[in-house]
Structure 1
């Protein structure tokens, strides 16, 4: 079974112009970021790629934890991308996901260890990471804690 996604884009001129994109629930302005010499309006391809990788990773991790019956009090994510600029050539180098996972209280060390393994496995299981494989280094640096046990 194939899932089809469509995106419509409108661009208003040359390199330093702005545009819009719309795809399902996503509707936003786009341009080149100020840090790369553009107008910095809306989002840009670098943020969108990071957003795709981060949302895929956190959803994949949440599903894996649920299937493993590991209780989660909270799951947050800080992701960082590195784009190299050499000789005016922009290359997306790496993405690092740093999930902070707080397990529900009362879980043992075995659950914490399994959650940590899943946090690493989710990085390679995500379809966006698989699409980037061989081009962009993607890694995970999880922090796993167990919350207070409630009476």
Structure 2
């Protein structure tokens, strides 16, 4: 990748029952199967990490779109849910993103939500591969 403005580095050991660390030490997590999958739940999991990353990235895209359109977001947040889904051969993920923006009318919030989905790097990476449902709270 020739034009990267930033590259994240992480190292994982042990898969879903292991650890993951970033090279700068800011991320250092124990990984564990959730209780609903038969694990002890004493750690995070890839779906939680993906939900956190996607929601943070999406909020950045939302802020960019709002600024470009001259819209003041006011207080806002995004809830991300990432499902691990069993399919015919293995597993895949599904995503639901819910925007909470009480200072915006529903029409404006929906327009911004869909515009952010067009520019968010996570949305671009998942497009055509992952079902992403968008909702305004």
Distance 2:19 2:133 in 1: 32
Instruction: Answer yes or no: is 1:116 the counterpart of 2:110.
Output: yes
Counterpart residue number, 2:119: 125
Structure 2 contact 97–135 (Cα < 8 Å) conserved:
yes
1:38 partner SS? coil
Structure with bigger gyration radius: 1
1:74 partner SS? coil
Distance 2:23 2:108 in 1: 36
Distance 1:16 1:64 in 2: 36
Distance 1:21 1:39, change over 3 A: farther
Counterpart residue number, 1:95: 95
User: TM-score, normalization: structure 1?
Assistant: 0.72
Pairwise mapping of residues 54-65 of structure 1 onto structure 2 (< 5 A)?
54-65=55-66
Task: Judging by fraction of residues, say which structure has more strand.
Answer: 1
Structure 2 gaps of 5+ residues are none
Distance 1:79 1:63 in 2: 19
1:46 partner SS? helix
Give, in angstroms, the shift of residue 67 of structure 1. 2.6
Give, in angstroms, the shift of residue 33 of structure 1. 2.0
Counterpart residue number, 1:7: 10
RMSD (Å) for aligned C-alpha atoms: 2.5
Q: Deviations over 1:48-91 (max 9, x none)?
A: 12222211111111221123221222001222222222578332
Q: Paired residues, what number? A: 133
Q: Deviations over 1:7-46 (max 9, x none)?
A: 12333xxx77432423543221112222222332221111
Pairwise mapping of residues 33-72 of structure 1 onto structure 2 (< 5 A)?
33-72=34-73
Structure 1 contact 70–115 (Cα < 8 Å) conserved:
no
Structure 1 gaps of 5+ residues are 144-151
Instruction: Answer yes or no: is 1:78 the counterpart of 2:79.
Output: yes
User: TM-score, normalization: structure 2?
Assistant: 0.78
